[in-house]
Amino acid sequence: MSTYGRFWVSPEGKDVSAFANAGGGVIIYGVHESNNIPTGIDVGFDQGEISKEWLEQVINSRIQRRIDGIRINPVLLKDRPERVIFAVAIPQSNRAPHMAFDKKFYKRFVQSVAMEEYEVRDVARRGEAPDLRIDFELDSGSIPSGLPILNLKALISNDAAEPAFYGVIRLFFGISIKLLEIQELTHIPGTHQEVVLGQPRHFNVLQRIWSAQSGLPIWLGQPLPVSAKGVTFGKPSFESDYVIGWQVTSPKMAVKKRFYRFDYNGLVPLS
């Protein structure tokens, strides 16, 4: 985000509003840009004139409602240690939509653009629905035959204040992955096709129907295991292309889905 003297680009706060209304992001104050691409660092700011606290007050005064969880980090410039640029991390807000100083609501679409009325209503419902996601943890080992194995633990988390009492969880395993042990998950018969990075792929699918009647609701900040012992499968050969993924949904919540590829460093996000 470019700056010119004491005047900020987007003084009405539309960029901050747009990130909070969308999926979050980081704005850098103190760089030059061209066509939304950063091209270099400018002279920076003297913290005696523009401080972290001052910037926080400016943001809070220009956005309604106040955005929770904004982090402002001053970054010292190596060649000018007395000056800084500011990295402002803006989370996706569960209290959206947030209105900028010009009394418009913005979304992020390459640039910050005004939202349509129906989009404002959709974002306003964000705090009324759970926001579930799956995180994967991998452990390696072997079985008595000497076959190297991996154990995948799936943890379900909720990023919204609204608890999830029900949910449908699906885990995708590329058909070349040999599943060895499955507990608390149901194998859906047949193979299923998903498009990943524009390419059709085939998967075996495991599913769990989550219900608070037989377990716990999924609360904000309390990750829970999808299955107690995880899923065990033969360790992939990294010369081949192995993909796994997850999908989750809950009442009032849109379907969320993500895929990963195995490599020597573990799981690499694909979507």
Is the pLDDT at 186 greater than 50? The verdict is: yes
Give the global pTM: 0.58
Pair (150, 97) in one structural domain? no
60: domain CATH number is 3.30.950.30
Instruction: Compute the average pLDDT of residues 210-239.
Output: 85
pLDDT classification of 144: cutoffs 50, 70, 90: low
Same domain, 78 and 184: no
My answer on whether 28 and 104 are in the same domain is yes
pLDDT confidence bin for 1, thresholds 50/70/90: very low
- HEC string of the chain equals CCEECCEECCCCCHHHHHHHHCCCEEEEECEEEECCEEEEECCCEECCCCCHHHHHHHHHHHCECCCCCCEEEEEEECCEEEEEEEEEEECCCCCCCCECCCCCEEEEECEEEECCHHHHHHHHHHHHCCCEEEEEEEEEEECCCCCEEEEEEEEEEECCCCCECEEEEEEEEECCCCEEEECCCEEEEEEEEEEECCEEEEEEEEEEEEECCCCCCECECCCEECCCCCEEEECCCCCCCCEEEEEEECCCCCCEEEEEEEECCEEEECC
Last residue of a domain, one of 93, 127, 161: 127
Q: Print the domain residue range for 143.
A: 132-269
| Residue 110 pLDDT | 62
Beta strand ranges found along 111-255 (DSSP E): 111-114, 132-142, 148-158, 166-174, 179-182, 186-196, 199-211, 224-225, 231-234, 243-249
User: Does residue 137 sit in the same domain as residue 123?
Assistant: no
Q: Are residues 13 and 51 in the same domain?
A: yes
Judge if 163 and 249 occupy the same domain. Answer: yes
Distance CA 152, CA 18 (A): 36
Q: Which of 103, 4, 13 is nearest to 61 (CA)?
A: 13
Tally the domains of the chain.
2
Nearest-CA neighbor of 27 among 90, 114, 98, 102?
90
Q: Are residues 113 and 146 in the same domain?
A: no
Strand partners, 132: 158
Q: Out of 97, 127, 157, pick the residue that ends a domain.
A: 127
Residues 117 and 210 in one domain: no
Q: Are residues 93 and 25 in the same domain?
A: yes
pLDDT bin (cut points 50, 70, 90) of residue 136 is very high
What is the C-alpha R_g of the chain?
23
Same domain, 254 and 142: yes
Summarised one tens digit per residue, pLDDT across range 73-114 is 888 888 888 889 888 888 888 778 888 888 888 877 666 777
Q: Are 84 and 96 in contact (CB under 8 A)?
A: no
Which of 82, 97, 127 finishes a domain? Answer: 127
Please check whether residues 261 and 146 belong to one and the same domain. Answer: yes
For residues 81 and 144, membership in a common domain is answered with no
CATH number for the domain harbouring residue 143 = 2.60.40.10
What does the pLDDT look like over 56-67, one tens digit per residue?
888 888 888 888
Distance of CA 258 to the CA centre of its chain: 10
pLDDT band at 3 (very low <50, low <70, confident <90, very high): very low
CB 25 within 8 A of CB 87: no
- Mean pLDDT, all residues of the chain: 83
Among the ranges given (3-7, 39-43, 138-142), the one the predictor scored with the smallest mean pLDDT: 3-7
